Amino acid sequence: MKQPKELKVKPIKNGTVIDHITANKSLNVLKILNLPNSESNLTIAMNVQSSNLDRKDILKIENRELAPNEVDQIALISPNSTINIIRDYEVVDKAKIGLLNEINGLLKCSNPNCITNTNEPVENKFYVINKEPVTLRCHYCERLMEEHEIESQF
């Protein structure tokens, strides 16, 4: 009997590959990236085998080179991902994605009385006080936000 051939995710010619995303988190990663009306070809691979026995997700964005500062916030939900820049099929740049010390304008404070949750025109702002597991502190009300409260926002 003929065995079906294994389907592999195609290499891309130019663009960005975000690799080693925590398994099943790629859709959340995509939300964080918030690529505005992207016309780029997107390939998402979920739950694929990594080089070791672990599973991971991969995101390939064709014809667009994301800058490290555009992807750093991904570390909030996927601490071990890498960003690879591809030109003419070659990886020309590879970097580990790392959390910045501040997260601005991305998350809602879990304290309902926080000034950022009122009608005041104040942008939310958190300090990263621990990276793994992630713990953030609100600049305004000092409320601590733990990983599950952060993940549930994406």
Bridge partner list, 127: 102, 137
Residue facing ligand CTP at closest CB distance = 11
Binding partner of residue 109 among ligand CTP, Zn ion, none, CB cut-off 5 to 8 Å per kind:
Zn ion
Which residue stretches of 7-137 are H helix? Answer: 26-33, 68-71
In one-letter notation, the amino acid at residue 94 is K
Residue whose tokens read 């025109």:
121
Q: Identify which range of 85-93, 124-132, 133-141, 146-154 contacts ligand CTP by CB under 6 A.
A: 85-93
**Which of 38, 80, 82, 135 contacts ligand CTP by CB under 6 A?**
82
CA dihedral of residues 41, 44, 48, 52 (deg, nearest 10): 70
The interface mask with ligand CTP, positions 11-50, x = CB under 6 A, is xx----x-x-------------------------------
Structure tokens at 49: 């085998």
Chain positions contacting ligand CTP, by CB under 6 A: 11-12, 17, 19, 58, 60, 82, 84, 86, 89, 91, 94
